[in-house]
Structures are given as structure tokens and as C-alpha cells.
């Protein structure tokens, strides 16, 4: 039997069914109508075995009748045959709920045995959740205590699976974080999860996203598809009766194909298991909403990792006991693992999950189908489809809308703050704020010191200008003194002319005056003018006069080693005198002595040489 593609719509009086049967024989098809059951059979052209045929067997949410108003047509355009069948409703104006839940409409396969292997006792009470005792979503549930006799611990949807990962040890590390889940009880999984989250938390990463939140603010502005759908539902709320409300969630053809491939089946869950399933649904939806927000609706290679890493239900096979535990677990994992670790993303995911639950099971199913597709495209994550997502896609189609509404209301009432995370976020933020204030204070102090430095530099430049002014004045006074010394030099030069006529003057020796015809050289030690003075006056008288004038300005020092002996000043040297730093005299033993001038202005320094030196 081949199940063809189909879709259902309705109006107040009729149920409209479209069945696409390519290359079918329009002359050979059968329709069966009885109460809530509908059956369709058609034979295709190109099948070798006659036993193969198209069949569509549906269990409808309302009763239909065969009263002559039914009608069927066939359209063979574009090579794809489409049967359109109008089925009258038994009660006119009745609203058939869940016509887009295609998997739940497919009738389950019947057993060929006379008696079913498993019989559901109290069918009406067990399958109709409306008659069950309402869950207290905020009440702390007692965790399930596994029997010590059990060798394996269950997990998966409703804790119905065990022993799966014993056969998949190679893929275990890439899918979940718990090691050896078959031998790890639920309480130990929880302890290990909390320890792993505490070790993974990075305060620097958290504070970086907290204070540098430009990217976070941009992501929070993104509006996924359920935002507009929720606005439309809110705008029309109260105007249209609930049972005739328009459809706000539309499934694509690809999503319908996914639903048709699922096998319709029932789940025998006790109250505790159903409780775990509902809470696990919230956990998975929170992770999915975070993924859609941070990637702005675009799917990438990290999408599968984000969803399964942020959901403790998928990553640690966790079984929660309250809604608050679900929110705390999700918040901690958001602040520990993904790229963007901001508490604003946690609250945004919570509000998005509330919107999805308010939109109904169609919106929830659409999200689950997207998660199923994401995991199918990720090689190791497909195991999570077998353990959780496929069962959730089938189970959610049969959940009553009032249950989801009650779950949504409880989720809205549950509060979550940073203090619930157990990561000392408030203390960490307070310390970071203090550090920022200190940095601002230091920066302000640095700015003030910089301004003071600029002021001091300006004052220094002013003082330099004033000192340069005073130095210019000092140079002016020095120039006046130099002019006076120049006049004195003129007198000395005139006296030099007379000295050059007489070559027989005795030398002025540092150790005493000696008689002899020697040349007397006189230099002006003012650094500017050094003239040779030769006198024609009597040597003795001249020496006595000069000795009296320069006696107080002369000081005797020994000649350093290696200094050449001073000779007589040649005529060329007299014409082109070379400035020298020091002058000295030499005695008969060949040792010279320096004559150093006193700091008085324009002192005269005499350097005398012997006759032997002149020769």
C-alpha cells in the first residue's frame, strides 16, 4: 500500500480532501465513508504487481456522512492527477480540530490477530487527557528512583528507551555529554551536569558579552515568524470564536511530507512520564528559540550543536521535575557554552517559547519538524531524532490544546533571575562595575595631570623666554666689555710695535727673571685677541712694570707629561696666530710650566723662551 500525498481543509458544511495520485487510473478508484473513518483506494498504471495500490485511510476528528451531497473530481493537468473530494459533515457548522496534524489522521495499522497483543484498558479515560487530573506544574515532583535490580537505566522520550548507546559507543561522545548513560542513574547525571556547567563557566566571557553588547542588542531585534503570527492571533482574539479561529501556522509541502512519513502510534505513559515529557518539550523549545534568535533564522553547521548542547534533555538525558528547574538549567547552559552568553537571550527564549505555546500545537509541531530536519542533516545527531524528536512530533499532534494552554500559563508565572543561576552573577557584575568606576577615575586623574603637565610646559617655555631675554641682556653687557677690551687691545698693539724693534729683552721665566737678548711674547687671554707684544723699552724696567701688573693674575702649574716644549714664535706665527687653550714656559731642565689666568677680565699671559730654544 502506498500512502499518497493529501491535505485537508474545511468550511462550515463540508470537509475538503485533496489527494495527489500521479498516473492513477481515474476510472478505478473507491471511496468509503463511515462516521469518523474515511478510506480511498486507487490503482496506478505503472506497477508490475497488482497487489500494490494507492490507499489513504484516515481517522477524522469529526463525523462525516454519505447523504448524496458528497462529490469527487479528478484533475490530470501537468501529469499529476489530483482527486478533490467534498465530504459532508454530519453536524453542520462543526469545527474539525487538528486537520493539519497529518500523522495523527493516518489510521494506525491493524493487527491481523484476533486479539491485540496489548489492550488499552479504559480507552476513553486513558486517551482523553481532558478527564485526567490536572498537573500542578509548579509542584516539586519526587524523582523516579530506579530499582537496584535494574541493570540499565532508561532515557529518551518518556524514559521508554534503554541500551541504545551500548550499540553506538563511537557516536556517543559527539551526541551527548554523559558517559555510559545505560549505567548512570538520573541523580548522578544531574550531579555531573551541574559540575560540568560550573567548571565551564567563564566569567571573562560573560562580562565581555555583558558590557560589550552591541551584537546582543542587534540579535534581540530579530523577529522570527511566530512574532507576526502571535500578533495576528492577539488582534483577532475575542472577535472570532475559538473553534472557528483562522489558521495562523501554515505547513510547507516539505513539512507535510515529513508528517506523512511518520508512523501513527499511541504512547502508554503514566502520570510521571507525561510530566517529564511536557517539561522536556519546554527545554527543547527553549534551545530551539535561542538558536533561531542568534542565527536570525538562518541555519548553519552550528545549529545542531546549539540545540542539543543547550538542552539538558538532549545532551544529558535529563528528566526534570519542575518548570523552574528547566529554566535554571537552560539559563546556566546559555551562560556557559554558546558563543553569545547573555542573560537577555535567556529571557528572550523564554518569551518566544510562551508565544509558541499560545499559538498552539501547530506552531510547536512546526518547530519540532525543523529540529528533526536539522538533526537529520547532522550525522551523529540523527540518534536524537530516534530517541526524542520523532516521538515528540507524533505525540504533540494528539495533545489537547487545553493542556498546552495550562502549560503556557504555568511557564508565564515562573520567574527566573540571575541569582537562580548559582554562578554568582550579581556579585561578579558588581565587582566589574567597581573596576569600571576606578578606571574612569584613573582616566579622569590622568586627564587632569596631562592638563597640569601642559600648563607646566607652558610655564617652562615662558621662563625660558624670560631667561633668553636676560641672557641677551647679559650678552649685551659682555659686548660692551668686549668693546672696552678691544680699545685696550689697540693700545697693546701699539706697544707691540715698539717691542718688535728690540730683540734683546731678557726672558720672563716662571722661576725668576733672567737676563739676555730674548724675545718677549705677550698674549691677551680673553679668547678673542692674542697678539704678540714686543717692546723696545729696557728689559729690566719693562719686566718690573709688567710683573707688578700681572703678579696677582698669574699662577704657576706643572706641565703635563707628553706636552711638547714651547719654542719661539716665528714670524709666520706672529702674522697668523693660532689660538691655543693654554700657554706654558720652560726652564733650563726642559720642563715647562703652565701659566693659568685668573677669572678677571682680559688678563695678560706672558710666555718667555730661552736663547737655546730660539736657536
Residue 613 is predicted with a pLDDT of 47
Write out the three cell numbers for 548. 707688578
Long-range contacts of 122-131 (CB under 8 A, 24+ apart): 126/268, 127/266, 128/400, 129/399, 129/400, 129/403, 130/400, 130/402
Q: For 143-165, write each residue's pLDDT tens digit.
A: 444 444 446 788 999 998 888 87
Per DSSP, the chain holds a count of helices (H) and strands (E) of: 21, 13
Lowest mean pLDDT segment, chosen from 209-223, 270-284, 505-519: 505-519
The better pLDDT of the pair 380, 262 is held by 262
* E strand or H helix at 207: helix 203-211
Residue 502 is predicted with a pLDDT of 43
The better pLDDT of the pair 142, 268 is held by 268
The better pLDDT of the pair 483, 98 is held by 98
46-50, 104-108, 137-141, 288-292, range with greatest mean pLDDT: 288-292
* E strand or H helix at 176: none
The better pLDDT of the pair 142, 153 is held by 153
Sequence-ordered alpha helix ranges (H) in 221-270: 225-236, 253-261
Give the three-class secondary structure for 340. Answer: coil
Please say if the pLDDT value at position 257 is more than 70: yes
Lowest mean pLDDT segment, chosen from 72-76, 219-223, 419-423: 72-76
1-5, 43-47, 446-450, 609-613, range with greatest mean pLDDT: 1-5
Q: How confident is the model at residue 397 (pLDDT cuts 50, 70, 90)?
A: very high
Q: How confident is the model at residue 557 (pLDDT cuts 50, 70, 90)?
A: very low
Q: How confident is the model at residue 532 (pLDDT cuts 50, 70, 90)?
A: very low
Q: For 471-487, write each residue's pLDDT tens digit.
A: 555 555 555 545 544 44
Instruction: Read off the pLDDT of each residue in 225-229 and give the average, rounded to a whole number.
Output: 93
Instruction: Read off the pLDDT of each residue in 93-121 and give the average, rounded to a whole number.
Output: 65
Q: How confident is the model at residue 67 (pLDDT cuts 50, 70, 90)?
A: confident
* E strand or H helix at 522: strand 520-524
Lowest mean pLDDT segment, chosen from 117-126, 148-157, 272-281, 550-559: 117-126
The better pLDDT of the pair 23, 368 is held by 368
Rounded to an integer, what distance in angstroms lies between the CA atom of residue 66 and that of residue 58? 16
* E strand or H helix at 586: strand 584-586
Q: Whose grid coordinates read 707684544?
A: 533
Q: For 498-518, write each residue's pLDDT tens digit.
A: 444 444 444 444 344 344 434
Please say if the pLDDT value at position 275 is more than 80: yes
Q: How confident is the model at residue 225 (pLDDT cuts 50, 70, 90)?
A: very high
∠ CA 287-214-282 to the nearest 5 degrees? 15
Residue 39 is predicted with a pLDDT of 87
∠ CA 26-257-28 to the nearest 5 degrees? 10
Cβ atoms of residues 138 and 413 within 8 Å:
yes
- In degrees to the nearest 10, what's the CA dihedral of 439, 442, 447, 448? 150
Cβ atoms of residues 138 and 324 within 8 Å:
yes
SS3 content of the chain, % helix, strand, coil (to 5): 50, 15, 35
The better pLDDT of the pair 36, 514 is held by 36
Residue 462 is predicted with a pLDDT of 60
How high does pLDDT run on average in the chain? Answer: 74
At residue 526, what are phi and psi to the nearest 5 degrees? -100, 5
Give the three-class secondary structure for 401. Answer: helix
User: 521 - beta bridge partners?
Assistant: 607
Residue 459 is predicted with a pLDDT of 64
Sequence-ordered alpha helix ranges (H) in 268-360: 271-294, 303-310, 312-315, 323-334, 343-359
Instruction: Read off the pLDDT of each residue in 209-216 and give the average, rounded to a whole number.
Output: 93
Residues 6+ apart with CB under 8 A from 135: 271, 274, 275, 278, 406
Q: Give residue 160's Cα distance to chain centre.
A: 40
What are the structural domain ranges in the chain? Answer: 5-99, 158-238+245-425
Please say if the pLDDT value at position 403 is more than 80: yes
What's the whole-model pTM score? 0.66
380: DSSP letter: T
Q: How confident is the model at residue 95 (pLDDT cuts 50, 70, 90)?
A: confident
Please say if the pLDDT value at position 221 is more than 90: yes
Residue 341 is predicted with a pLDDT of 95
At residue 11, what are phi and psi to the nearest 5 degrees? -130, 180
- In terms of DSSP bridges, do strands 508-509 and 512-513 run parallel, antiparallel, or are they unpaired? antiparallel
Rounded to an integer, what distance in angstroms lies between the CA atom of residue 28 and that of residue 221? 56
97: DSSP letter: T
Please say if the pLDDT value at position 50 is more than 90: no
Rounded to an integer, what distance in angstroms lies between the CA atom of residue 236 and that of residue 253? 27
Instruction: Read off the pLDDT of each residue in 106-113 and give the average, rounded to a whole number.
Output: 53
CA distances from 162 to 86, 151, 275, 317, 581 (A): 46, 10, 19, 11, 107
Lowest mean pLDDT segment, chosen from 4-8, 396-400, 402-406: 4-8
Write out the three cell numbers for 449. 595631570
Rounded to an integer, what distance in angstroms lies between the CA atom of residue 86 and that of residue 9? 10
∠ CA 478-496-578 to the nearest 5 degrees? 65
Q: Whose grid coordinates read 558517559?
A: 179
Please say if the pLDDT value at position 185 is more than 70: yes
Q: How confident is the model at residue 606 (pLDDT cuts 50, 70, 90)?
A: very low
Rounded to an integer, what distance in angstroms lies between the CA atom of residue 233 and that of residue 239? 10
Q: How confident is the model at residue 415 (pLDDT cuts 50, 70, 90)?
A: very high
* E strand or H helix at 487: helix 425-501
Q: Give residue 265's Cα distance to chain centre.
A: 45
Instruction: Read off the pLDDT of each residue in 286-292 and give the average, rounded to a whole number.
Output: 97
Instruction: Read off the pLDDT of each residue in 67-88 and give the average, rounded to a whole number.
Output: 82
Instruction: Read off the pLDDT of each residue in 35-56 and give the average, rounded to a whole number.
Output: 68
Q: How confident is the model at residue 170 (pLDDT cuts 50, 70, 90)?
A: low
Lowest mean pLDDT segment, chosen from 156-160, 173-177, 606-610: 606-610
- In degrees to the nearest 10, what's the CA dihedral of 411, 416, 420, 425? 150
Please say if the pLDDT value at position 128 is more than 60: no
Choose among 280, 356, 364: nearest CA to 98. Answer: 364
First-residue to last-residue Cα distance in the chain: 143
Lowest mean pLDDT segment, chosen from 182-196, 298-312, 596-610: 596-610
Q: How confident is the model at residue 280 (pLDDT cuts 50, 70, 90)?
A: very high
The better pLDDT of the pair 247, 359 is held by 359
Please say if the pLDDT value at position 240 is more than 50: no
Residue 515 is predicted with a pLDDT of 41
Rounded to an integer, what distance in angstroms lies between the CA atom of residue 313 and that of residue 545? 120
Give the three-class secondary structure for 164. Answer: coil
Burial of 495 (0-12, 13-18, 19+ CB in 10 A): middle
Specify the CATH number of the domain 5-99.
Answer: 2.60.40.790
Ranges of beta strands (E only) in 65-164 are: 71-75, 82-88
Q: How confident is the model at residue 292 (pLDDT cuts 50, 70, 90)?
A: very high
Rounded to an integer, what distance in angstroms lies between the CA atom of residue 498 and that of residue 385? 127
Cβ atoms of residues 62 and 89 within 8 Å:
yes
Amino acid at each position: 500500500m502506498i500512502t499518497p500525498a493529501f491535505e485537508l481543509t474545511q468550511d462550515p458544511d463540508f470537509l475538503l480532501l485533496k489527494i495527489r495520485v500521479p498516473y492513477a487510473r481515474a476510472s478505478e478508484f473507491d471511496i468509503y465513508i463511515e462516521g469518523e473513518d474515511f478510506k480511498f483506494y486507487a490503482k496506478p498504471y505503472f506497477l508490475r504487481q497488482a497487489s500494490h495500490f494507492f490507499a489513504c485511510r484516515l481517522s477524522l476528528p469529526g463525523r462525516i456522512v454519505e447523504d448524496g451531497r458528497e462529490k469527487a473530481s479528478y484533475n490530470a493537468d501537468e501529469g499529476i492527477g489530483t482527486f478533490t473530494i467534498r465530504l459532508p459533515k454530519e453536524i453542520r457548522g462543526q469545527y474539525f480540530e487538528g486537520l493539519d496534524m497529518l500523522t495523527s489522521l493516518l489510521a494506525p495499522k491493524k493487527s491481523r490477530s484476533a486479539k491485540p497483543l496489548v489492550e488499552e484498558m479504559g480507552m476513553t479515560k486513558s486517551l482523553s487527557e481532558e478527564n485526567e487530573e490536572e498537573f500542578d506544574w509548579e509542584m516539586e515532583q519526587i524523582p523516579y528512583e530506579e530499582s537496584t535490580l535494574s541493570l540499565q537505566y532508561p532515557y529518551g522520550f518518556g524514559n521508554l528507551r534503554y541500551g541504545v548507546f551500548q550499540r553506538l559507543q563511537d557516536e556517543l561522545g559527539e551526541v551527548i555529554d554523559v558517559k555510559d548513560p545505560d549505567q548512570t542513574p538520573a541523580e548522578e547525571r544531574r550531579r555531573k551536569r551541574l559540575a560540568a556547567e560550573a567548571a565551564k563557566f567563564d566569567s571573562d566571557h560573560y562580562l565581555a558579552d555583558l558590557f560589550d553588547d552591541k551584537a546582543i542588542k542587534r540579535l534581540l531585534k530579530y523577529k522570527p515568524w511566530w512574532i507576526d503570527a502571535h500578533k495576528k492571533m492577539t488582534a483577532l482574539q475575542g472577535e472570532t470564536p475559538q473553534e472557528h479561529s483562522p489558521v495562523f501556522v501554515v505547513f510547507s509541502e516539505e513539512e507535510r511530507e515529513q508528517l506523512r512519513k511518520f508512523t501513527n502510534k499511541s504512547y502508554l505513559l503514566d502520570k510521571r512520564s507525561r510530566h517529564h515529557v511536557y517539561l522536556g518539550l519546554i527545554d527543547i523549545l527553549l534551545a530551539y528559540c535561542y538558536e533561531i534568535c542568534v542565527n536570525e533564522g538562518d541555519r548553519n553547521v552550528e545549529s545542531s550543536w546549539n540545540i542539543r548542547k543547550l538542552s539538558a534533555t538532549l545532551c544529558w538525558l535529563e528528566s526534570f521535575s519542575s518548570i523552574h528547574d528547566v529554566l535554571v538549567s537552560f539559563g546556566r547552559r546559555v551562560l556557559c557554552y554558546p558563543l553569545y552568553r547573555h542573560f537577555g537571550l535567556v529571557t528572550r527564549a523564554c518569551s518566544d517559547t510562551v508565544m509558541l505555546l499560545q499559538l498552539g500545537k501547530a506552531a510547536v509541531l512546526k518547530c519540532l519538524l525543523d529540529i528533526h530536519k536539522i538533526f537529520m542533516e547532522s550525522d551523529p545527531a540523527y540518534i536524537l531524532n530516534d530517541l526524542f524528536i520523532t516521538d515528540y512530533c507524533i505525540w504533540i499532534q494528539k495533545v489537547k490544546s487545553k493542556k498546552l494552554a495550562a502549560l503556557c500559563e504555568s511557564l508565564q508565572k515562573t520567574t527566573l533571575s540571575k541569582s537562580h543561576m548559582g554562578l554568582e552573577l550579581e556579585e561578579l557584575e558588581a565587582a566589574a562595575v567597581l573596576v569600571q568606576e576606578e578606571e574612569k577615575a584613573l582616566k579622569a586623574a590622568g586627564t587632569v595631570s596631562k592638563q597640569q603637565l601642559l600648563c607646566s610646559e607652558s610655564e617652562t617655555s615662558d621662563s625660558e623666554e624670560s631667561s633668553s631675554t636676560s641672557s641677551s641682556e647679559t650678552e649685551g653687557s659682555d659686548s660692551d666689555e668686549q668693546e672696552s677690551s678691544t680699545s685696550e687691545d689697540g693700545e697693546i698693539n701699539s706697544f707691540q710695535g715698539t717691542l718688535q724693534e728690540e730683540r734683546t729683552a731678557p726672558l720672563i721665566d716662571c722661576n725668576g727673571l733672567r737676563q739676555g737678548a730674548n724675545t718677549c711674547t705677550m698674549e691677551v687671554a680673553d679668547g678673542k685677541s692674542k697678539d704678540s707684544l714686543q717692546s723696545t723699552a729696557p728689559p729690566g724696567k719693562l719686566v718690573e712694570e709688567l710683573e707688578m701688573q700681572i703678579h696677582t693674575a698669574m699662577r704657576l702649574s706643572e706641565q703635563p707629561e707628553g706636552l711638547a716644549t714651547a719654542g719661539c714664535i716665528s714670524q709666520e706665527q706672529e702674522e697668523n696666530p693660532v689660538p691655543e687653550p693654554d700657554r706654558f714656559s720652560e726652564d733650563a731642565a726642559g720642563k715647562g710650566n703652565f701659566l693659568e689666568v685668573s677669572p678677571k677680565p682680559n688678563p695678560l699671559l706672558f710666555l718667555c723662551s730661552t736663547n737655546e730654544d730660539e736657536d
